[in-house]
Amino acid sequence: MDSREKINALLNEMSQVVVGQERLINRLLVGLFTGGHVLLEGVPGLAKTLTINTLAKILDLNFHRIQFTPDLLPADLVGTMIYNPLKNEFEVKKGPIFAQIILADEINRAPAKVQSALLEAMAEKQVTIGDTTYPLDKPFLVLATQNPVEQEGTFPLPEAQVDRFMLKVFLNYLDKEQELEVMRKMSNMDFQYEVKTIMNLEDIQKIRKEINQITISETLEKYIIELIFATRNPAEYGLVQEANYIQFGASPRASIHLNLAAKVMAYLEGRDYVLPEDIKEMAPDVLNHRIILNYVAEADGISTLQIIQSILSSVAINR
């Protein structure tokens, strides 16, 4: 099978287990094919963990699931030095972070010191234990789930860590037909589907090379930059009201990630070039966790997604 046939086979295999989460699966593929970490937010029961677990089984990669809890310690994540009395020396015991795909389940239930332990791994693809730095296997991908921050027992993620995620995807409830299908499938206590392995590391590397050949015009490159700058200086783009709500705009990572995400969208659509629609499709997921709103926005009930839609409506493509 060629790359596109393997992607179609992967999507078909996912659909045997996961119902009605096409957008979620699409965003996970964006992260997989670019090496970008993905943060999923939604109430419990929306198949976040199931989807990631199923994807991991379809990929021939090392996978670890880490359940984040309030009593989790950084050493539980990255590893530690353990004394070996037989050898009379300390030895390194590597933690579960040493895998190619990490499911950080309910990541915002662990305190900030544990979140910070992920920073080096996510940014530098390496971990330091004692005096030694260990490179992580490639690809290294963190797929994290979190509950809405309003829920009891959650900790807001540090801004520096949130910015390390390429995408933050908000999940909504299924529609009636999809939920009916889920209910029928999961109410059958004998339901069990063993997914097949579809892709390996070589396939992913090949797809990444093909995506790297996707072209994006200089006009659209400049359009991405204008979108990012509109989050930092909205008044200059005629977004006077929005300027009252934004405390901090998007970081430089946003332009890089939006460019990459748009290329993947074009690739998944079977094109070898990026359209404005690809950029607009991915902009909310790339930007929603990078725009920091102030207390005025909270008081007025304004969300980052509303701000992003205003920016997309106001910033023109200069041809």
Task: State whether residue 206 is helix, strand or coil.
Answer: helix
May I ask the CATH class of domain 3-203? Answer: alpha beta
Q: According to the model, what pLDDT value does residue 150 have?
A: 58
Name the DSSP letter for residue 59: B
- Dihedral in degrees, nearest 10, Cα atoms 191, 196, 197, 199: -110
Q: Is the pLDDT of residue 153 over 70?
A: no
Total-model pTM: 0.90
Number of continuous H segments (helices) and E segments (strands) in the chain? 14, 11
Mean model confidence pLDDT for the chain: 89
Which band of pLDDT confidence, cut at 50, 70 and 90, is reported for residue 289? very high
Give yes or no on whether 3-203 and 213-314 have one common fold.
no
Q: Is the pLDDT of residue 55 over 80?
A: yes
Please choose, from the candidates 101, 115, 119, 122, the residue with its C-alpha nearest in 3D space to the C-alpha of residue 51.
101
The two tokens of residue 134 are: 């260990």
Which pLDDT tens digit goes with each residue over 84-106?
Answer: 888 888 888 899 999 999 999 88
Question: How far apart are alpha carbons 134 and 94 in whole angstroms?
Answer: 10
Q: According to the model, what pLDDT value does residue 33 have?
A: 95
Q: Is the pLDDT of residue 217 over 80?
A: yes
Domain definitions of the chain by residue range:
3-203, 213-314
Identify the CATH homologous superfamily for domain 213-314.
Magnesium chelatase subunit I, C-Terminal domain (1.10.8.80)
Longest dimension (CA), the chain: 71
Q: According to the model, what pLDDT value does residue 178 have?
A: 86
Q: Is the pLDDT of residue 149 over 70?
A: no
6-10, 150-154, 184-188, 271-275: range with lowest mean pLDDT: 150-154
Is residue 283 within 8 A of residue 312, CB to CB? The reply is yes
Question: How far apart are alpha carbons 278 and 258 in whole angstroms?
Answer: 9
Residue of higher predicted confidence among 190 and 87: 87
Q: According to the model, what pLDDT value does residue 297 have?
A: 92
Give mean pLDDT, residues 255-261. Answer: 97
Q: According to the model, what pLDDT value does residue 313 have?
A: 94
Give mean pLDDT, residues 2-7. Answer: 90
Question: How far apart are alpha carbons 101 and 143 in whole angstroms?
Answer: 7
Which band of pLDDT confidence, cut at 50, 70 and 90, is reported for residue 318? confident
41-55, 101-115, 143-157, 175-189: range with lowest mean pLDDT: 143-157
Give mean pLDDT, residues 221-229. Answer: 97
Percent of the chain at pLDDT exceeding 70: 98
Question: Between β-strands 37-41 and 165-170, what pairing exists: parallel, antiparallel or unpaired?
Answer: parallel
Give mean pLDDT, residues 164-173. Answer: 91
Estimate the crossing angle of helix 22-34 against helix 48-58, to 10 degrees.
Answer: 50
Q: Is the pLDDT of residue 246 over 90?
A: yes
